[in-house]
Structures are given as C-alpha cells and as structure tokens.
Structure 1
C-alpha cells in the first residue's frame, strides 16, 4: 500500500507498507489473478505525489497502482478461464480481484513481459504521442527532452525510423552517453 508521499525526494522503503488480506472472491464479471510480473514505471512516483492529472488521484492506504501480468485462478467472467494469462492495471497485489472488462488476454505467454515495457505503456505513449500528436515528417528535427528515460528513448528511435533528425536532452553526461 501507499504509506507516504515522496514529494520532492527519492522513494524510500517507508513509502510503502506490506499488507496481508484475504483474497476476495470474484463477483459477476470479475476474476481473481495470481500476479507473475509487475511493471515499474517512473510515472508511478508522480502518481504517488498526485502530479500530472492524467490518472486518478491516489490516497495513503491505496494499493499502489500499476500494470501487471498474471494468470486467472478463479473466474466469474465469460471471457476468461482459469489458466488464462492476462495483462491489466491491477496494481501491486499478489492476488488481485479485477474487473474482467479491464483485462486483456495474452495470446503468446512467451511475450507477456514485453507488455510491461516497449509493447506496454512505455511504447504506446511514445508511439501515439509522437506519431498521432506530434505528427513528424521525414526531415523534421525532433527534440526529446527526456531522451534517457524509458519513453523518451523509444520516442527517439521511432523518430529516427520516421526519417527525422533527433536531438536528445538528458540529465547529465552519463545519461547522454
């Protein structure tokens, strides 16, 4: 659970609290999952600080939000059977009970963890942000202000593929290397 807000400072272990609760049985339209992998994105710190305004505000005591990959261990949703591998935003929980309509079945379990990286939020943000919003044309110069970060590094690669000149900005010589 979220135990403190890391506003203006690095994360500390005490920003989180490990809580044990009973697994909630699924109601109609829900499934119970066993989490196998969690996504850890830089944006999650901002979510804890309630900055950005593009995700729901968090409260002290909330489950830490985030993406995950898990297997269905109980289902009351017609789309999912026990054993299905799914992805979704079910937070940092070992056995979440989640709305089935908010999950996506993974057809190739060998590629499951890619959905937590370049084929997940990071890659989708880079792809749609650059190509649908930025709409670069071959020959344009694209400046990436967070070029050493997860999303920024993907933006730079997509811009290069699109035939653009890329200028990356990063926080120091080591990151620029």
Structure 2
C-alpha cells in the first residue's frame, strides 16, 4: 500500500520560548524521570536512616552517613550539570532570532538551521512527537533523538507524519 503524497514546508524565527521548550525537552531526555525520582526518594530516606544510625551509636554509622552524603551531592551535581549542558546545546543549536525550517516529503524529513542541516529518510524515522513545546524526532535502532521547536509542525502535520511512518 502506498502512502499519500506528503508535502510540508515550514520555517519559523526562533523565540526565547522556543529555545526554553527545546532545552526542557532535551533535559528531560538526558535525565530519565525514573532516575530523578529514584534519587529524590531513595537518597533522603538513606540519609535519615544514616542519621538515625549515628544517633544510635553504631560505629559504622559515620561511614554510612559519609557515603550517603557523597552520593547525594553527586546526584545533585549530575542533575544540575545535565541541565546546564543541555541548555547550552539548545541555545547553540537554536539561537534566538535565527531561522529554522522543516521540509517533509515522500523521501523523508529535512531540517535546516542556522548552523547545520540534516535529512532523515523515512526508513530511519521511528516517531515524531510533541514533547511539551518541542518536537522529538526519534530514530530507529536506538539512534539519538533530534529535538526541534514545536511551532515547526502543528497537530495536523504530526498526524499526517504518523500515518506516513505507519
């Protein structure tokens, strides 16, 4: 069965809102929600247990407390660094005031930006989905996702692309 012809050509000028939306989407992808929730639940519980052990006079409690504190600091640093790095990447990829374009046709999806352009054939596209105010173009075979400002495509375009992907 042949899919109907698909032609979408759009371009936008990046706004601060677009940049923030892409940054948030990239941050969310970089740090899985499961990892953040696990750290936010387990580390405080372990800290309370270590403090109780110290108060109980356990000789190894100070070691346990030190390890839990070190892991807590490491976790917080990981979260902060991941958000900073992803924010810088979004700002470099989509500077405010720059033009970003997308061209969708029977062969695939083409993206143009201020510093680069890319073309992805349909056989390499697993999904194009809205993530908050951004778009996530997911590739097949665990290839990294590509994030774009969400204003590039409206919901009707996303539905047409989903039909094309199958």
Interval containing the TM-score (normalised by the shorter chain): under 0.3
With normalisation by structure 1, the TM-score equals 0.19
Task: Please tell me whether Structure 1 or Structure 2 has the larger radius of gyration of its CA atoms.
Answer: 2
Larger proportion of helix: 2
**Per chain length, whose mean CA-contact separation is higher, i.e. which structure has more relative contact order (CA < 8 Å, sep 6+)?**
2
Larger proportion of strand: 2
